[in-house]
Amino acid sequence: MANNELSNGSLKGYAQLLQSKQISSLELTQAFLQRIKQYNPCINAYIALDEDKTLAQARAADARIAAGSAAPLTGIPIAQKDIFCAEGWPTTCGSKMLANFVAPYDAHVISQFNAAGAVNLGKTNMDEFAMGSSNETSYFGGVKNPWSYDRVPGGSSGGSAAAVAARLCAAATGTDTGGSIRQPASLCGFTGLKPTYGVVSRFGMIAFASSLDQAGPMAKSAEDCALMMNVMAGFDERDSTSLDRAKEDYCRDLAKPLAGLKIGLPKEFFAEGLSAEVGQVIENAIAEYKKLGAEIVNISLPNTGLSIPVYYVLAPAEASSNLSRYDGVRYGHRAAEYTDLMDMYCKSRAEGFGAEVKRRILIGTYVLSAGYYDAYYLKAQQIRRLIAQDFVEAFKQCDVIMGPAAPSTAFKAGEKVDDPVAMYLQDIYTISTNLAGLPGMSVPAGFAPSQDGPALPVGLQIIGNYFDEARMLNVAHQYQQVTDWHTLAPNLPEGKA
């Protein structure tokens, strides 16, 4: 089987090849490592690779398969976002502050994949401490969108996004604090899912905003995401926000027909700010759902417009607290020269953090200060409750909510770096689900033309009620049975961009 053909397979297809001994995990892993060597210098999706560790896991997986004790993902190469601690691996969070940190233990998500027999291909690039919407804030350099190297892949999970889109892994993990799985999934043309808050443990996942952060799968299709959720989800007593729920089979409803499904279309998602070309792709996707027997319901989420200001009060407030631990004493970057303890703190943090992280720490510290707590932080928490209530009312009228995942296709690198507000508005359609703790996903729905470049991917966002991931995956899977957008891969140019 040709290398390119092999890299475009599904998780289920890889499992069948491995079980039938048509290919070994070692061969499959080597095929992906070869693609990484060929294309990663151009794309910068991976920032940590360890071929010896990776191949050792592949050999162990082959032994497990030979012994007849394989699980569905045994032997399949997965990329891990560099926000997850993995024992013996650099875990940098895309920051100079942690550039030399090697994790002494595994995050829960990593240990779950290890237990399943999956192979860790490497750690993927990301916006520094997950703060960004374009993967341009990484200390290790920006990531390029595989569909057009002059465009961003989205963020903060841009490295994982580019790796999935460029077929440099079978699937990848990401985290979503305000859209950091769904927005890059839309911009890079693959399927990404943010679960209900608390369904996937945050233990060993370096914190940005603890009440918003959630790990999730990034893969080619809804079926692949379902298989990954079967591994990732589950109670973890080490995480105080992990929900003690029975294990689910997220593949159980994939084949259910959609006749009678009620799809809610929020008018706020189709208002000013949405690119006309992106809007047309979303309308075409909705038309496909009508053919599948779904019913369309017009709904309203009246507080959607407040989600950006609420998020950029609450998330920086939590970040300022979480990042206070990086002081150059216990771990993290320490300045080479300083006069006293306070000078060491100041210089270490000034050198270790990038501009966007500093901006959010300053905002967070400001809104938590004694004179402004009630005016900003408390008020934002009250509006957060109103945003969640909007969804409660909406789900009385529909089963799932649909709309765009991002207001435009991938923009050019550097285009929004000097305009933080324009960058923040990239998450206008995704942030509200994080504030409410709801599950959401982005599914490839087509391509929209760009004025000065190629047609680029567009993602359809599907939002479900709490713990309704299986239904969302069913809705996405049925759409992917009648469309082929999720099977399309970019033609990668040779050489360094």
pLDDT at residue 30 in the model: 97
Q: What is the pLDDT of residues 109-160, one digit of tens each?
A: 999 999 999 999 999 999 999 999 999 999 999 999 999 999 999 999 999 9
Q: Is pLDDT above 60 for 248?
A: yes
When pLDDT is cut at 50, 70 and 90, the band that residue 497 belongs to is very low
Averaged pLDDT for residues 342-351: 95
Average pLDDT over every residue of 82-101: 97
Least Cα distance to 96 among 138, 130, 45 occurs for 138
User: Could you tell me the CA-to-CA distances from 211 to 176, 250, 311, 387 in Å, in that order?
Assistant: 11, 24, 11, 15
Tens digits of residue pLDDT in 453-465: 789 999 999 999 9
Which neighbouring-strand residues pair with 403?
Answer: 461
Which residue is catalytic, options 7, 81, 111, 408? 81
pLDDT digits (tens, 9 = 90+) for 383-402: 999 999 999 999 999 999 99
Q: Quote the mean pLDDT of the chain.
A: 95
pLDDT of residue 7: 86
Mean pLDDT over 306-313 rounds to 96
Whether the Cβ atoms of residue 156 and residue 434 lie closer than 8 Å to each other: no
Q: Count Cβ atoms within 10 A of the Cβ of residue 21 and give its class: 0-12 exposed, 13-18 middle, 19 or more buried.
A: exposed
- Average pLDDT rounded to a whole number, residues 276-292: 97
Q: Between vectors from CA 419 to CA 413 and to CA 424, what angle results, nearest 5°? A: 85
Encoding tokens for residue 437? 């703790």
Tokens of 119: 């192979």
Would you place residue 3 in the very low, low, confident or very high pLDDT band (cuts 50, 70, 90)?
low
Rounded average pLDDT over 428-434: 97
Q: Average pLDDT in the 10-24 region?
A: 96
Active site residue 156: yes
Across residues 427-450, what is the average pLDDT?
A: 96
pLDDT in tens, 31-74: 999 999 999 999 999 999 999 999 999 999 999 999 999 999 99
Q: What is the pLDDT of residue 2?
A: 53
Query: Residue 453 has what pLDDT?
Result: 79
Helix residue ranges, H only, 153-253: 158-165, 182-188, 222-232
Instruction: Please report how many Cα atoms fall inside a 13 Å half-sphere around the Cα of residue 179, on the Cβ side.
Output: 31
pLDDT above 90: percentage of residues in the chain: 93
User: Is 180 a known active-site residue?
Assistant: yes
Q: Which of 157, 180, 307, 432 is catalytic?
A: 180
Give the tens place of pLDDT for each residue, 153-208.
999 999 999 999 999 999 999 999 999 999 999 999 999 999 999 999 999 999 99
Domain boundaries, the chain: 3-255
3-class state of residue 231 by DSSP: helix
Instruction: Classify residue 126 as exposed, middle or buried by CB count within 10 Å of its CB (0-12, 13-18, 19+).
Output: buried
Strand pairing of 440-450 and 453-463? antiparallel
Mean pLDDT in residue range 372-390: 96
From 133, 156, 201, 450, the catalytic residue: 156
User: Active site includes 320?
Assistant: no
Percent of the chain exceeding pLDDT 70 equals: 98
Mean pLDDT across 203-229? 98
Which homologous superfamily does the CATH classification assign to the domain defined by 3-255?
Amidase signature (AS) domain (3.90.1300.10)
Q: Which of 269-273, 403-407, 420-424, 493-497 has the lowest mean pLDDT?
A: 493-497
